[in-house]
Amino acid sequence: MYRAIEDNLTDLISTADKIRRKFKGEKVKLCSIINAKSGMCDQDCAFCGQSSYHKTKTPKYPMLDTEAIVKSAMDAERNGAAEFSIVTSGKGINSREEIGKIKRSIKRIKKETSLECCASLGVLNKDFLKELKDAGLDRYHHNLETSQSFFPQICTTRPYRENVDTIIAAKEAGLITCCGGIFGMGESQKQRIELAMTLKELDPDSIPINFLNPVKNTKLENMSLLKPLEALKIIATFRIIFPTKDIIICGGREITLQSLQPMMLLAGANGMIIGDYLTTKGRNVQDDLDMIKDLGLHNE
């Protein structure tokens, strides 16, 4: 099946665009994130500059205070984002002090902005996710990163099952869920479809698609970037598999898609992260807003 798709890229993109227009219309969802706690992670994710297994120049700092997180959310709203996500490094969050800061931040973001509030705090259990929901959290993000069969080559410090269970727990806690992966880490096309099938079973509300932007001194530092057309093929394939879901293009889009970047919104995507990513710089926000307008689309 994937072979047939591969041989007809323009047909694939055109089909994906029709599906995107049918279910998402002209709206583009803009998300913004803050790296609220950076580096010093005890996990060995091969792509990540925040892993303590890698000696990178990625900044290291403990959990930001509530004021800094809320200010960043307000900036995101001014920039046109509909959603703001608090992201922290590490397998999960354990300290009550950190939990308190996150809950206070969520409460203030919900009170002082009209943003949808998301968090990405690693592997969590249902009780903690319910606590966050009660504080006002709308959505929980946790990526599977890649397919189950390829995951052992990407991370050896936690089982794949814990990623899956976190999304199941978030749904049970009543949260909207966001779950996807990173492409271009050496996985096969078959493994991309394997990831899609696992996501199909998990049924998250939105699917973030990241492209590897190799970070110096990580295990994947020498990995070649995906070709722009290959990246578009992934986006279009995911739109066809997930007709009604939000497909959000995240890290690595500028460096991977290059001059074909506007095509991501004509190949099935209906959302993107604006501003900076976790450990890498993003594009100028106005350039993204102009791109959306030039395509005849508008942000939510």
Positions in the binding site for ligand SF4 (CB under 6 A): 41, 43, 45, 48, 50-51, 89-91, 122
Residue 164, H or E segment: helix 160-172
- Judged by CB, which is closer to ligand SF4: 41, or 249? 41
At closest approach, how far in Å is the CB of 41 from ligand SF4? Answer: 3
| Euclidean distance between CA atoms 3 and 132, whole angstroms | 43
Paired with 182 in beta bridges are 210
At closest approach, how far in Å is the CB of 295 from ligand SF4? Answer: 31
At closest approach, how far in Å is the CB of 158 from ligand SF4? Answer: 8
At closest approach, how far in Å is the CB of 64 from ligand SF4? Answer: 15
- What Cα–Cα distance (Å) separates residue 86 from each residue in 69, 94, 117, 277? 8, 16, 8, 12
- Judged by CB, which is closer to ligand SF4: 41, or 173? 41
Which residues, other chains included, contact 228 with Cβ-Cβ below 8 Å and sequence gap of 6+? 256, 257, 258, 259, 260, 263
At closest approach, how far in Å is the CB of 235 from ligand SF4? Answer: 22
- Judged by CB, which is closer to ligand SF4: 28, or 41? 41
Closest CA to 241 of 184, 201, 186: 201
- Judged by CB, which is closer to ligand SF4: 164, or 297? 164
- Judged by CB, which is closer to ligand SF4: 122, or 275? 122
Residue 70, H or E segment: helix 66-78
